[in-house]
Amino acid sequence: MISCRNFATLRVSSWVISGLLALSVLSGCGNAEKKGPEPKTVEDFFPIKVGDQVVRMQLAITLAESQKGLMFRQTMGADEGMIFLYDRPQQMSFWMRDTLLPLDIGFFDATGELKEIYPMYPHDERPVASRSRQLQFALEMNQGWYKQHGVKPGAKLDLAALVEAIKARGFKPATFGLK
């Protein structure tokens, strides 16, 4: 049997518990607001300059994103492309398995300097390998884009814009040797 005294304690306890629950819910909501926007994905585009040209780039950062690349893409805008990022300089090799669009690939070193450009053809599974072993970024564009825009070896990739895009994707630029 609950006495009046126990009943009063029970009522006060339930009010205290309700208040604590409400506080924890509200503080949880406050934390959600402080987190900021959701990270961008591989589907998002970022304006990044190559030489004097602004390219809307998608960033292939994870292994799965790099493996898929531009496979199955049926169209790509005139100034759109995909950049592949690596954690250290290396020789690069790409192929066109399940890729429907003719592309050019530009290989950049860790300083963002364009070093090599090669054409790549739809469904061609022969590797297109770089000569240099000191490359860290690769940018795939529609075939002929580099020539049409006068972007040649020596052109620089805007690394500051790339750093901001990497951050917006929720990754750390230092992973790719960038500050």
Structure tokens at 36: 């900021």
Give the amino acid at 83.
Answer: I
CA dist., res. 179 & res. 36, Å (int): 21
Class of domain 46-176: mainly beta
Per-residue pLDDT at 36: 72
Q: Facing residues of 105 across strands?
A: 118, 140
Per-residue pLDDT at 34: 58
Is residue 154's pLDDT more than 70? yes
Is residue 98's pLDDT more than 90? yes
Query: Which sequence spans correspond to the domains of the chain?
Result: 1-36, 46-176
CA dist., res. 22 & res. 39, Å (int): 29
Is residue 141's pLDDT more than 90? yes
45-91 tens-digit pLDDT = 999 999 999 999 999 999 999 999 999 999 999 999 999 999 999 99
Contact 89, 109 (CB under 8 A): yes
Mean pLDDT score of the chain: 87
Residue 42: C-alpha distances to residues 111, 140, 171 (Å): 23, 14, 12
User: Residues 73, 144, 113, CA angle at the centre, nearest 5°?
Assistant: 95
Concatenating the DSSP letter of every residue in 124-150 gives --S-EE-S-S-EEEEEEEETTHHHHTT
Structure tokens at 75: 């169209």
Q: What percentage of the chain has pLDDT greater than the value 70? A: 80
CA dist., res. 26 & res. 28, Å (int): 5
| Residues 157-175, mean pLDDT to the nearest whole number | 97
Give the range among 15-29, 71-85, 113-127, 132-146 with minimum mean pLDDT: 15-29
- pTM for the model stands at 0.80
Per-residue pLDDT at 33: 53
